[in-house]
Structures are given as structure tokens and as C-alpha cells.
Amino acid sequence: MKYLEEFRDPELAHKIVGEIKALTTKKWNIMEICGGQTHSLVKNGIIDVLPKDITMIHGPGCPVCVTPVHLIDKAVFLSLRKDTILCSFGDMVRVPGSSKSLLQAKAEGADLRLVYSPLEAVKIAKENPNKEVIFFAVGFETTAPVNALSVIQAYKLGLTNYSILVSHVLVPPAMDAILSDSTSKIDGFLAAGHVNTVMGYKEYYPIALTYKTPIVVTGFEPLDLLQGILMVVKQLENKTHEVQNQYSRIVSEEGNLSAQKTIHEVFEIASHDWRGIGTINKSGYKIKDKYTHFDADRKFKIDIEKHEENVDCIAGEILKGNKKPFQCSQFGKKCNPENPLGAPMVSTEGACAAYYHFSNNIFDTIHL
């Protein structure tokens, strides 16, 4: 498939749905890891045309959603310093911390600047030598290379006023944590194609083997997802548990070795807190000692008390796949995009936002 129309071909979509229905003889729970996949499933009405025995469970693959409250609080704290410029991607600014969001901090006078790349933040640091410029580095493995590259560039430029506040999380440890949970009901996974573009998928082999769970690397268009679901169902019905690659036009087994080298130059693996989930061992990145001057957490010696998620928010249960957004008593009421209680209602990849915007008004992109 070379062109966009081919990824949404209605005739082929009907054919794949028919194959899935013909194959399915049991109830299966399939988790799509990525929030972008969740949005595509909901927006295109794919969930509604799958056989009733196939349940799609929405995973924690939204970096904005899993950024812990105390890191939002640290970003707010840094933004309100008189000597700082805090740079961030736009999807982070409305995520609620324990008391306020970055957008609310901006209203109070914070110098908050939205950027499309951390390299823009490096440029801002170069142009403002009397200010401390901090980039809020949030993401999965997908954005880690460019965030690491910004540190390398600042290092080469000799900038002493640039740093990053790191909140990088890793997909395989999260999958392992979900499957090892005694409450897990996941039978198979759709893995996040963009993460695997960078990292490859060799790390998934031991997960599939240990938990006897099929994992299929999948893209984001309707036919990508339908084909991925079909590949998972085939394995489940045949009682196999392999790692397969539906997204072969983009993803290779080894991934992007150059990007991985850049990541490993700046970052090392560490345990990390996930919003609504808790600490997952070896599930994130931290800055290596060589680049400690570029670590905002250590540079500014931030000591902020950790706060729990809003008691009315069930983001953790949603991110773990235990509940759907509409099962939250506050969904669409006290919690909405204009007044979010939790990150999944804010992010463009959040499950709550997907259901709020699309579940009652399916666009029927592929006319199923």
C-alpha cells in the first residue's frame, strides 16, 4: 500500500473484517498499546464492526497520560521561576498537576513557550544567555532520540543555560508489568509501530514467550489495525504466541540503529513512575552522569512532595485497561476537555479524549 486511499479501502476493510469474524470462535481481549491506535479504532468505528467476542482494551501508550503528577508539578515550579523559560510541546500544557497546569502557570506570568522540537529550545537558550531554558522532555522511545540530540547539541555549543526535565517511559517494561499483574485479562497485543520504528521489536520476543501472548507490531491506519487484529486472532485461535510485524513497510527487526546510538549516548535505563499506575522497574530513561548539567531535576535540586491522582479520576484503571472511559462516573460531566480531571481527557492520544470526541459521532472513514 503506497497511498493514503489504499490504507482506507472499504472493500478490503470488509474482506478483513469478514476474515476476523470467520476465524473467531472464542472471546479474546486484545490491547492496543498506543493512544494513536486507540483514536483510530474509535474514530473510524472499527471497534463497532469487530465480532462481539473481540474486545479491544486500551493500553497506557500515551506519554502525556502517564506523566506523573509530581513531574507536572516540577515543570510548573520551574516555569514560575523568574530566571527561566520553560519550553514544551503543546499537548502537555493543559495536563493538570496537583494544583495547576502549565497553562494556568502561564496565566500567572510564567514564560512558557510552545515548540515543535527540543532543538528550538536549544536555539532559545542560545539567544537568551541570561535565562535558564528548560525543555519538558516527555515521551516514549519515539521522541527520545531528538531529546537526546538536543542535549548533545547544547553540549557541543557549550551552553550552560539549557537543560531538560525528563519523563521518558519505555513500552516493553509496561507490557511486562501489565501481563504480570494478577488481574490481567490480555490475550494479545498490538504493539506501537512508531516506537518500533526506532527500537525494533527484538525486546518483545521474551515477553511473548514468557506469557505465551502474541504480539503484532501494527500501524495506525484503519487497514493497518484490522490486519493487525486479524494476525493476533489467527495466533490466538491456533494457540501460537509469536512476535509478528504488520508494519513491515516502516519497521525492521533491529530498528533505527543510529537513533538508538543517540539515545544511549545521553540516557540510561532507570525505574520510572507512571501516572495512575505507580513505579515500574527499568521502565524509563534518566540522563547519564556525563550530561548531568543538562538534567533539570538535578541542576535545580527540585524537591517537591508527590501527590496522588485526583480522587474522582480513574485514569490508572483506564491506562491499565481495566476500565473504559465511559465507565468513569465523571466522564463528560465533571471531566471534559475544557475541565479535565486527568491526562487521558487532555492528550490527543488519550482514551478519554477519543471517546469524548468520537464515540457518539463515528466518522465512518472506511464506510464499514
**Residue 201 within any structural domain of the chain:** yes
**Residue 310 within any structural domain of the chain:** no
What's the number of CA atoms in the CB half-sphere (13 Å) around residue 356? 22
**Residue 339 within any structural domain of the chain:** yes
Instruction: Please count the structural domains in the chain.
Output: 3
Mean pLDDT throughout 191-205? Answer: 96
CA neighbor of 136 nearest in space, from 173, 102, 108: 102
Higher pLDDT, 113 or 336: 113
Domain span at 176: 4-63+171-245
**Residue 179: pLDDT over 80:** yes
Whether residue 78 contacts residue 134, with contact meaning beta carbons closer than 8 Å, is answered with yes
- 82 and 142 co-located in one domain: yes
Residue 314 in grid coordinates: 480513574
**Residue 308 within any structural domain of the chain:** no
Whether residue 266 contacts residue 148, with contact meaning beta carbons closer than 8 Å, is answered with yes
DSSP annotation of 26: S
Q: For the ranges 10-24, 238-252, 283-297, 326-340, which has the lowest average pLDDT?
A: 326-340
- 216 and 261 co-located in one domain: no
What is the model's pTM?
0.88
Taking residue 236's Cβ as centre, other Cβ atoms within 10 Å add up to 22
Q: What is the mean pLDDT of the chain?
A: 91
**Residue 217: pLDDT over 90:** yes
Q: In the chain, how many H helices and how many E strands?
A: 16, 11
The pLDDT assigned to 360 comes to 54
- 239 and 330 co-located in one domain: no
Residue 311 in grid coordinates: 480522587
**Residue 362: pLDDT over 50:** no
The pLDDT assigned to 5 comes to 65
